Structure 1
């Protein structure tokens, strides 16, 4: 122990925060490899979006519009609501944090499926609340009946992720409607649809169809995935004004930059959005082709409706992830459950099938060939 360590008094930190592991990005891919660990859009940004972002740099000596009004108005028109019924944040994850802070305090509970988005537990802990994690079904989707049954007097927020990250399974419109009928009207429900644009199943829930139907429902989406703006950090939520105002009160001021707003607005221009959605369709086709190839090899890959596939590798997760890394592919490992593989460049598909074809589990216990 050094002199400074022995004389410096201990800082009184919240023990649950001190014990909370910080969010960590996946390790970088080799120079000649593929980074398939972050669900990023592999296509280069559109030229028009880059130009809009670059133009915003001329005003970096000024604070941005704190409410991102122009973007909120554009989104409000799209969803048939007022601008006050839209909130913009530094990615949908930042907005989820704001809603949890607004609704849950120490001693309260936040209910969600597990495994789901890895940020949920940390966001709940930071708010001082308690996570109630409801196991996924055998098909890796949400067990909405069990989630509804887990709601208690202490529950303040329920999070539903569709398609579920990292497993890829969606919630159907019928399932969600039946679920909402069981949820008390004074409990906040967050429908996290970060990957909605990649969905190709008509039966899927679509938050846009539910606006105005439930006074306790908020829809969350992002520009990070389908629109390829992960580096700008901009997402949005649509819901009742009173709930959104509470979330606004918990926000760090000026969290959405002028560059973020400019990039999002440029992405919503008709020609730009049409091109972006063509890219989304190409990624969805690539995803389905990869999943079909893996299933043909013997992998038990669940429904995939995001821009990724889920490999239920169980106890062999770390081993499979390392074998992929040795072949210059970085995927997101969640030991001891499975591996999420993002849909990346076209060239990565055959490489993945070649590597994973040699690693097919020989039994339900996950032993590898």
Structure 2
């Protein structure tokens, strides 16, 4: 009987690009340790339950035997009214990643002559970027971050060529945490060819408190080539429903809709998102409680002598390099799951207060190994 492994099916294989793609590694759940409550700090999830009004909206959905509105009209109108943008400029997607995939499918790939469009992005950044770019058929151009975890916009501008179709900017940057500043982003946009799409991935926008941070909506209003990505997965706590959206101009949106997977955002997800927007004041309060905990963690790390990048998302970044996997193992022994990017660092989600305290205790007891060991 076939086991379904590749060795059982000679001659059947994926496109060559698929074999070269990195694999997306989802945050692992914590191990069970007797006497300790386990906490998952590896996926940047919101540890708080959705709002009661959101749960009521979900419970009120009965027509799940019907396909959802493929244009997500109710959601787009709610987002448009909330943000003061035309509903037609909003395109729904299965999370901000689904919205990104629509951008790439429509604007970057392999051309009829076999040449590849280029997509420029900072690295390390969101680990799905090289996967999505590769699957679209485009060539990813990775530009190293600065040592402080920020985008090197000058180097990114220098990496733009006549083959560049899209530039991805992640702000706050996942996994390192800093935001793009408004002045530097405006200068960067001013120096780019007008036909290059610039995507601002703002998945963690509601946690940003830096007054100098780039204003995505303002940039969208002033620059026809700017596309914003946003999600209900983080601050709104709807990660399991997969609902996000892009905001772009009329010369862009028809192609995003053409590239969208039909019915990708369920009726349940749309109504949950609309309910959450309708009670955004409560979302802000919850996001602020996470920001407050983030501040406690950042101050605690600073007091212990840790030098970390500016944290503007719902996570902190420990630049541990080759010691990352070892640190994650120590966290697992304390019933904490964290996300190690071996060779680079460890991302730790701001979770429940007890989890954050336990993480700080681990950092207090952690002894860095000698360099090069």
Give yes or no for TM over 0.5. Answer: yes
C-alpha contact 2:102 2:260 (8 A) present in aligned 1:
yes
CA contact (8 A) 1:313 1:366 kept: no
Does the Cα contact within 8 Å between 2:22 and 2:130 map onto a contact in 1?
Answer: no
CA shift digits 1:301-345 (9 cap, x unpaired): 110000000000111011001000111000011011000000000
Aligned to 2:96: 92
- Equivalent of residue 108 in structure 2, options 104, 109, 113: 104
1:216 maps to 2:225: yes
**1:145-196, CA deviations, whole angstroms, 9 ceiling, x for partnerless residues?**
1101100011110000000000001101011001101111000100000001
Partner of 2:77: 73
Question: Corresponding residue for 1:155?
Answer: 164
Aligned 8 A contact 1:198 1:306 in 2 = yes
> Normalising by structure 2, what TM-score?
0.93
Which ranges in structure 2 are unaligned for 5 or more consecutive residues?
A: 111-115
Deviation for aligned residue 1:2: 8.0
Query: Larger deviation: 224-233 or 292-301?
Result: 292-301
What is the CA–CA distance in structure 1 between the aligned matches of 2:313 and 2:155, rounded to whole Å? 23
CA shift for structure 1 position 360: 4.6
Query: Within 2, Cα distance between the matches of 1:2 and 1:110?
Result: 40
Moved more, 348-357 or 258-267: 348-357
The change in CA–CA distance for 1:229 and 1:366 in structure 2 (over 3 A counts) is farther
* Paired position in structure 1 for 2:24: 23
The match for 1:50 is 55
- The number of aligned residues is 363
Counterparts of 1:188-227 in structure 2 under 5 Å? 188-227=197-236
What secondary structure does 2:252 align onto?
A: helix
Q: Which of 261, 282, 293 is the aligned partner of 2:270?
A: 261
Q: What is aligned with 1:64? A: 68
Unaligned runs of 5+ in 1: none
SS at match of 2:263: coil
Whether the 8 Å contact between 1:193 and 1:219 is mirrored in structure 2 is yes
User: 2:46: which partner in 1?
Assistant: 41
Which residue of structure 1 lines up, in the alignment, with residue 113 of structure 2? none
Distance 1:314 1:278 in 2: 35
Q: 1:131 to 1:3 in 2, by over 3 A?
A: closer
1:21 Cα deviation after fit: 3.9
**Matched residue SS, 1:134:** strand
* Structure 1 counterpart SS, 2:220: coil
